[in-house]
Amino acid sequence: MTDDLGVRPASWRAGTAQRAGVVAFAQLIALDVAARPEQSALHPSGVQAAHILSLWNLTLVICAAVFAAVLLATLVALLRNRRNGDSPPLAPRPGERTAARTRNAVIAATAASVVLLVGLVIADVMTDRALSKLPVENAVHIEVTGQQWWWQAVYSPEAGQPGFATANELHVPVGRPVIVDLKAGDVIHTFWVPNLHGKKDMLPGIQTTIEFRADKPGIYRGQCAEFCGAEHALMAMLVVAQSPEQYTAWRGQQATSASRPSDAIAQRGRQIFEQSSCAGCHTVRGSSAQGTLGPDLTHLMGRQTIAAGALANTPAGLHQWIRDPQAVKPGTTMPAVPLAADDLRAVIAWLGTLQ
């Protein structure tokens, strides 16, 4: 639509701009959703998660049927005893036949409830037995410790390769069982990757174990499922299921020490890191940094996120996290590092070489 001069009215132009903005925003949302790792118990990517989903579907069907039956019975009772204007409700009709029907209906409903509940118990027990029967020959062994608020992962030595530590991101081979020994370093946490298995508590002073197998390659998001403090919601992890060849290559690279940087700025950043409080909290194998309070940073740039999923692992994310971690994750034990701007850029340049 145009005015007499062939010019679009301002209201039309404004509406077009708004529509374009909405379309662009929707596209950004779609891209963001597509880029996110999957986190859904309704889309299993492992045999245990599939067993749990089957139990969920059975429970949903039975509960929905019972709910519908209760609603139907309530509706029938309301229709039989409806009021006609201001007149009193219809008086019940006494009689042995009516009483017998009512008694029989109650008995039948009670018997059906018992049968359904017993059936759910049996299905639950059978699911639990199925979960415990996963073959674990030639399994990958990982020790995961829940901290406030991040995940420490230690891989056991395998096939002549040494063990190593990483954080907040697990890599596992598709089709091969994984045994995860769970520990808590401070309070109760819960390990939960819904695409692969159910929840498992992590208790201080007690080691628990969870076993799973990823049957589809992909990236699956996990989350602490037990309230563990102020930043419980920002305690995520990623499980990357790879082909056996990709996993072997990743593991071989993770077992190596950090290489010495050739760039002058990165070399200066390494020196600043080793001489600051950073080295007292973090380990970087191949350097003098041997701290154990925070995550191992030897191959930091091989991870997709930092701060347990709170930020993307980019130079901008690293700058934001190092400069003011409390602004990202209030309550975190990561202190702000008082570095000059040039020193901070040098440290980030060196961290960028930790592939």
Q: What is the pLDDT along the chain (355 residues), one digit of tens a residue?
A: 444 334 444 443 444 434 434 333 333 333 343 357 899 999 999 999 999 999 999 999 999 999 999 999 889 888 877 754 455 555 555 566 777 887 888 888 889 889 999 999 999 999 999 999 999 999 999 999 999 999 999 999 998 889 999 999 999 999 999 999 999 999 999 999 999 999 999 999 999 999 999 999 999 999 999 999 999 999 999 999 999 999 999 999 999 999 999 899 999 999 999 999 999 999 999 999 999 999 999 999 999 999 999 999 999 999 999 999 999 999 999 998 889 999 999 999 999 999 9
Residues 6+ apart with CB under 8 A from 283: 165, 289, 290, 291, 292, 296, 297, 298
pLDDT at res. 312: 95
Q: CA–CA separation, 139 vs 212, rounded Å?
A: 10
Please calculate the CA angle 220-120-203 and round it to the nearest 5 degrees: 50
We find that the CATH architecture of domain 264-351 is: Sandwich (2.60)
The predicted model scores a pTM of 0.81
Instruction: Domain ranges for the chain, please list them.
Output: 264-351
CB atoms within 10 A of CB 39: 17
Residue 13's pLDDT is 40
Please give the DSSP secondary-structure letter assigned to residue 300: G
CA gap 331, 148 in Å, rounded: 9
